[in-house]
Structure formats: structure tokens, C-alpha cells
Amino acid sequence: MRRTIAALAAVTLLGLAGCATDEPAAGPSGSASAAGSGTGEQSKFFVQADYDAELALLDATATGPADRPWEQVLNPKMVETAKFKKAGPHKLCFSNAALNNPWRQVGFKTMQAEVEAQGSRIKEFVHVDAEGKDQKQIADINDLLGKGCDALIVSPNTTATLTPAVTAACKAGLPVIVFDRGVDTPCPVTFINPIGGYGFGHVGAEFVSQRMKPGGKLLALRILPGVDVLETRWSAAKVAFDKAGVDVVGVEFTDGDPAKTKKIVNDYIQRHGTIDGVWMDAGAVAVAAVEAFQDAGKPVPPINGEDQLDFLKLWKDKGLTAIAPTYPTYQWRTPIIAALRILDGQPVSNPWKLPQPTVTQENLDSYLDLDMPPLHYAMCGCTDLPGYPQRWK
Amino acid sequence: MQTVQRPPLPLRLLRVRPGGLVPIIALLAVLLILVAVRQPDFFAPPSLMSFLGRSAPIILLAAGQYFVIVSGEFDLSVGALVTAQVVVAARLIDSEPAHTWPVVLLLLGFGALVGLVNGLITTRLRVPSFITTLGMLLILLGAVYLWSDGAPKGGLSDEFRRFGRWAFEDVPVLGRVPYALIVLLAFAALAVLVARSDFGRTLIAVGDNPRTAELSGVRVWRHRTIAFVLSGVAAAVAAILIGGYSGVSFQAGAGLEFGAITAVVLGGVALGGGRGSVVGAMLGALSLELLFALMNFYGVSGALRSTVQGAIILLAVAVSAPRSSSR
């Protein structure tokens, strides 16, 4: 009897162990020795033309008010929207992929504040959170079509799976606005997003590879594989590292988790003695990576983060050699502005490419607001909105 | 594990018996030699101290898990409890130094409460502890997710984080002694005292044969419930150290329950209860961490860690099963 119980217990434990620790296969690090500088094969998501276009946009001048980057457009291509003209006030509906990370939390608060700021023109704002599930979002969009929305804003959870749902929404005749992640159909009136992943990845990788000592060891930290906006960041970084001849000793997935990140960085410090540069595809765990060096008593090498305030503060306090490319949260304001312009029948740009500023040593002080919480994003463009700063705290 | 029985001299003091310390000490010695061959720098005081500090949470969890397992039960909820505690702490402290101590006390109380609920459901409602604590795992993760809207909020104060991150600097010989190591030593001593007390000895009897224990006047349910409470408190202390070490994270405690159970099994504690020692369980945790460090030095992918844990659990059951049937 005892034996049966113990054996049963062991089997159950093993089953649980299997599903609880779903660590992604460390493919890139496994194949590291094969490729020249350790960056492995290029990502399937890499498209040379898009890469070239995004890098060109980094130097482009935006049109629109300079102090309101969420209204600016890079290389505008205006489309007519007269057929959507409608008398207000309007009912705006928003199908949101998820609220499951601080970036989306800050973004959504910014969007709510923008709705409040435009209160006289919006009679109702309906928000449905798909909680990161494709199936729920497909159902959400379908439900919203029956709710008499004047315009539909979609932030898709995944590109391919949500495309049919967005196509169906376009066919229903109301203006559809897509932002953040894209869909594989030209049917939305406009697709709003910043320059994009290639630009983000390139800026960080170029900085780190230029500042680290020649031939030094670089550790690349990625959140997870297979998401287009993150794959493009890595693929642009890979191009930069291959060009600079950097020795990429590891490409690891962190799941965006600080505990795991700190462990990984610590493992690499122990294994290699020193790490001379750290590149990451998203800044959420940059602080954990820096702490790993501090706790190991090692100098923090050149590193890139993002515009999250905890990282900016650490950067300033410890005098890091750092850079922070951004994926600005102010883009959450733009869909509301776009929706109202479309319902006015005014032309809007499609695609609506927003500028993507970079936090550097020179402008760090202007973005560092110590009164805001550590997980807030500096690039929220929200200081002029109702409820600032309390709403974001 | 049984093949490496070459006890060095001082170990003659320890009795060689099933569930004894000899196998785990031998294993630890082998691992230490292997690490010394591969990466001698590892034994430089700063690196060794930081390793011990980082291993403190899992050693504490193993000590807590020991009490539950030796009494014949399982606690699968500790990993989720650690995650819940870290997320709750961040939200309640909200980067405010003054909230640190009240929240620390609250966490210890919360850990004890979760252990109490686990224990009472298992013993009074007679739900197998596997199911009880699995349910608790899901409840805790779900509740935390709901409460925080899926993204951690707030922040841990530096005062809170110092337990897991800071160290006594400039200590002679050792250099830097992490607070976590001091916390570990204090709680390890406490765990040994509890294990050697009447309670600790009775607990083993309960795990060995609950019926006999019951008939000889032991309140089995009470002993087992207290074991769960000890595990919950150990998880709370581990959560304070882990939250301090790595900050707010939804995966702070992911997989720790398996780490703790593997460590306990590795330390010679019989799954199903009735045999083992808390020192063995803690050394098991240390060996497991050392094994992972060794795998890292050899460049073995971190993804293999769960496989290794699984193999150890299987092997331990396979090795211990014939012995328990021969009794």
C-alpha cells in the first residue's frame, strides 16, 4: 500500500513538474557554437525590406506637433474617410489583447484618460479584455459588432489568428482601427504603431556593441520566441552583432521574469567570469540583469533597457553605460484621436507610423520622474491628461 | 546514490542506517570535488557566500517540506505560496519603507494560515494532501492573478529587499556574508531543534504508521496539521528571501515545490513518511543546488533541470520501495 501511494505520488509529481516548468527550449544557445559569432540562424520573421524601411524611419522627420508625438506621423500616406462621417457623440469600442503586463497597464490608463479628455465627443467607451487569449478576443470582437459601436479599436493578441475576426469587423461597415500588433489584412482604416521592432533592436544592439570592449562577450536576453514584435527586435540585433563581430556567448529566454533573469545572468557570470555587454529585447527585466552584476560584485557592462522608470532611476543612480530604446505607451492615445478624426470624415494616415524616441545619457534627466511608480513608463505622453499623476500611480 | 558509500573519518560518528545522512554527505562530497575540478574559483569566499545565500530559500523550503513528508503527506502548494506572498508583499508595501515590518509579520501569518488550512482540510476532511495542496496551489495562483489584474503592482522597499540581497560587508576571511545565510542558519537551527523535540520524533512515528501512533495516544491530525503550518511558515521566510533577491515576479515561486520535494527525497527522506532527517533534507537541497551549479559550469541547458529533478524523484522511489516492503 505504502509503495503504491509513493509510486502514485511520484508519477503525479512528474506530471506536474512537466507542466509547471515550461521553460522554452534553449535552441539559440544550443546552436551557438555552430554560427560564427554565436547569434545562430536568422529569425523566420526577418524581412529585409521591412528592416531597411524601419532603419530609414529612425532618421525620418515626423510631421505634426512636436510636443505631441502621439499625433505625429512619419512618412504620412493619407486615406479618405469621408464615408465614415457621422454626427457625435460617439460610442467607441475597444477589443484589447490583454492587460497582463505593466506596459499594457500604463497604456490602457493613458487611453482611458484620453477618452476622458475627449469626453464631450464620446458618449460611451466599451472595453473588453481578452486576457491574452485568441479565442476570447475572436468572440469579443464578434460580440462588439452587435453592440452598436461607431468605431472599433483592436489591439490584436496574435497576428494570424485574429486576422479573420478583424476582416469580419471591417465587413460590418464600421471603421476599424488596429494598433500595437498588426493583422494580415489591409481592411482596417488605419494601423497605428511606432517604428517597430527592427528599430528597437537595432538601436540597443548598436549602442552595446560599440561601447563594449572589442571581441568581448555579450549575453542576449529575450522574453520569448515566436512573437513578431519581439522576433524583429532580435533579428535586427543579430544583424548588428554579426556586423560588429561581437562574441555572443548566449541567447536566453527569460519569460520576462526578473527571478529567472537574475538566475540566468548570474549563471553566465559564474560560467564566463565576466560578461562585457548585455542586450535585451524588452526592458522589463533590465533591473534584474543589472542587479545580478551588482550582487556578484562585478561592474555593470554596457546594457540596454527600456523607458520603465525603475531602470532609468538605476541608470542615473549608478551611472550605467546604458541606452533605452522605447516602444512608447503614448501610442495608446492615438487610436482614440484617430477614431474621432475618422468619424469626422477627416483623412488619416495609413499606416500611422509614430516616432519612437530613444532615452540616452543626454536626455535621461528629462524622462526620469522620481514621483512616479517604478513600473511606470516614461514615454506615456500622459502628463497633460486628466487625472495625472494619480491615475498612473 | 547508494554506491558512493565512502564515509570520511568524521562521519563514523553518524550511524549508518536507512534514511541516514551517509549517502547524502557522500553525494555532496562527490559534487564538491567535481565542482572543484571544473571551477576552482567557485570556492573563493565571495562566490561561495553568494551561492549559499542564493540557496537559502530552497534549503528552507526543503526543511519545511521535510516535516510534511516525514509525517506521510505532501505539500505541493509552497511554490504558489511563495509567488502569492511576493506579489502580495509588493502590493502592500508599495515601495513604502514604513510598511516593511508589518508586511513581514503579515506574510509569516499568511504562510501559517495557508499551512493550517492545508492541514485541517487534509486531516479533518480527509482529503488526500496531494489533492488539498494541489487545490491550494491553483487557488493561490488564481487569486493572485485576479487580485493583481495579471500584472504585479507596487514595489518592494529596499528595507524589505535587504533580507534577500544585502550582506554583512568586510567580514574577516569570508568577506561578504549575505543576510540570507544568517536567516538560513537561524531557521535551520530552529528546524533541527523542532525535529529533535518530542514533537519531531512523534511526527516520524505518525508517518511510519499512523494507526499505531493513533492507538498509542498520539493525536495524528494535530501533528500533521502542525507539520503543514511549519511548511507554510518556511515558505513565508523563503518568499521574503526570494522577493528580496529578485524583486516582484509572477514566477517567483514557480517550480519550487518540486525543488523542495526533490531535495527532501535526495536527502534520504522516504516519500510516504516515517523515515529521514531534517538535516538530510537541507543537505539534499544544497546538493541539488550544487548539482545545478555544476550543470551550469559544464554549459548544460537550464531546461534540463526539471528533467534531472524528475529522474531523482523516480530513482528515489525506486530505491526506497523494495526496502519499505521488506520491513
Based on the fold, state whether residues A173 and A254 are members of the same structural domain. Answer: no
- Cβ distance A240 to A205 under 8 Å? yes
* B12 in a structural domain: no
What is the domain range of residue B196?
A: 39-326
Based on the fold, state whether residues A260 and A172 are members of the same structural domain. Answer: no
- Cβ distance B306 to A23 under 8 Å? yes
- Cβ distance B61 to B191 under 8 Å? no
- The verdict on a CB contact (< 8 Å) between A98 and B153 is no
Could you say which residues of chain A have pLDDT below 50?
Answer: 1, 15-36
Based on the fold, state whether residues A40 and A184 are members of the same structural domain. Answer: no
CA triplet B256, B257, B261: central angle to 5 degrees?
Answer: 115
Determine the residue of chain A that is closest to B164 in CA distance.
A295
Alpha-carbon gap: A229 to the closest alpha carbon of chain B (Å): 20
What pLDDT does A8 receive?
Answer: 52
Based on the fold, state whether residues A140 and A233 are members of the same structural domain. Answer: no
Number of domains in chain B: 1
What pLDDT does B102 receive?
Answer: 95
- The verdict on a CB contact (< 8 Å) between B252 and A259 is yes
**What spatial distance separates the first Cα and last Cα of chain B, rounded to whole Å?**
21
Q: Provide mean pLDDT across the span B10-35.
A: 76
* A341 in a structural domain: yes
What pLDDT does B322 receive?
Answer: 54
What pLDDT does B299 receive?
Answer: 78
Cα A181 to the chain's mean position, in Å? 9
What pLDDT does A270 receive?
Answer: 85
With 80 as the cut, is the pLDDT of residue B12 above it?
no
* B80 in a structural domain: yes
> Which residue in the set A17, A30, A132 is minimally distant from B306, CB to CB?
A17
What pLDDT does B32 receive?
Answer: 95
- The verdict on a CB contact (< 8 Å) between A262 and B47 is no
Residues with Cβ within 8 Å of A120's Cβ and at least 6 positions away in sequence, in order, are: A89
What is the domain range of residue A175?
A: 60-196+328-358+387-392
Based on the fold, state whether residues A177 and A201 are members of the same structural domain. Answer: no
Based on the fold, state whether residues A184 and A229 are members of the same structural domain. Answer: no
* A21 in a structural domain: no
Determine the residue of chain A that is closest to B248 in CA distance.
A258
Interface residue of A8, A21, A251, A371 to substitute, partner B, most B CBs within 10 Å: A21
Alpha-carbon gap: B12 to the closest alpha carbon of chain A (Å): 31
> Which residue in the set A12, A104, A131 is minimally distant from B130, CB to CB?
A12
* A9 in a structural domain: no
Model confidence pLDDT, tens digit, residues B155-214: 888 899 999 888 888 888 888 899 999 999 999 999 999 999 999 999 999 999 999 999
- Cβ distance B122 to B129 under 8 Å? yes
What pLDDT does A6 receive?
Answer: 53
> Which residue in the set B152, B248, B313 is minimally distant from A10, CB to CB?
B313
With 60 as the cut, is the pLDDT of residue B18 above it?
no
* A96 in a structural domain: yes
Selected residues 255-284 of chain B with any CB under 8 Å from a CB in chain A: 255, 258, 261, 270-272
* B313 in a structural domain: yes
Based on the fold, state whether residues A265 and A346 are members of the same structural domain. Answer: no
* B16 in a structural domain: no
* B87 in a structural domain: yes
Whole-number Cα distances in Å, B156 to B108, B153, B239, B256, B301: 16, 10, 12, 21, 31
Determine the residue of chain B that is closest to A13 in CA distance.
B258
- Greatest Cα-to-Cα distance within chain A, rounded to the nearest angstrom: 78
CATH of the domain at B47: 1.10.3470
CATH of the domain at A214: 3.40.50.2300
Q: Where are the alpha helices (DSSP H) in chain B?
A: 22-38, 45-70, 78-93, 100-124, 129-147, 158-165, 179-196, 198-208, 210-215, 220-246, 256-266, 278-297, 305-326
Alpha-carbon gap: B286 to the closest alpha carbon of chain A (Å): 16
User: What is the spatial distance between Cα A293 and Cα A185, in angstroms, rounded to a whole number?
Assistant: 45
Model confidence pLDDT, tens digit, residues B100-151: 999 999 999 999 999 999 999 999 999 999 999 999 999 999 998 888 776 6
* B116 in a structural domain: yes
B contacts of A104 (beta carbons < 8 Å): 151
User: What is the spatial distance between Cα A333 and Cα A352, in angstroms, rounded to a whole number?
Assistant: 13
B contacts of A26 (beta carbons < 8 Å): 301-303
B contacts of A273 (beta carbons < 8 Å): 41
Q: Where are the alpha helices (DSSP H) in chain A?
A: 2-20, 27-30, 48-58, 102-117, 134-145, 159-171, 197-211, 228-244, 258-272, 286-295, 309-318, 334-343, 364-367
* B282 in a structural domain: yes
Q: Considering chain B, what is the average pLDDT of its residues?
A: 88
- Cβ distance A135 to A118 under 8 Å? no
B contacts of A100 (beta carbons < 8 Å): 149-151
* A4 in a structural domain: no
Based on the fold, state whether residues A230 and A180 are members of the same structural domain. Answer: no
User: What is the spatial distance between Cα A284 and Cα A1, in angstroms, rounded to a whole number?
Assistant: 50
Whole-number Cα distances in Å, A142 to A91, A97, B83: 16, 14, 36
Model confidence pLDDT, tens digit, residues A317-335: 999 999 999 999 999 999 9
- Cβ distance A104 to A331 under 8 Å? no
Number of domains in chain A: 2
Model confidence pLDDT, tens digit, residues B284-298: 999 999 999 898 888
Based on the fold, state whether residues A154 and A111 are members of the same structural domain. Answer: yes
> Which residue in the set A100, A266, A296 is minimally distant from B150, CB to CB?
A100
What pLDDT does A37 receive?
Answer: 65
Instruction: Please tell me the pTM assigned to this model.
Output: 0.78
Q: What are phi and psi of A137, to 5 degrees?
A: -70, -35
Beta bridge partners of A124: A91
* A286 in a structural domain: yes
What pLDDT does B210 receive?
Answer: 93
Model confidence pLDDT, tens digit, residues A239-285: 999 999 899 999 998 888 888 899 899 889 988 888 999 999 998 89
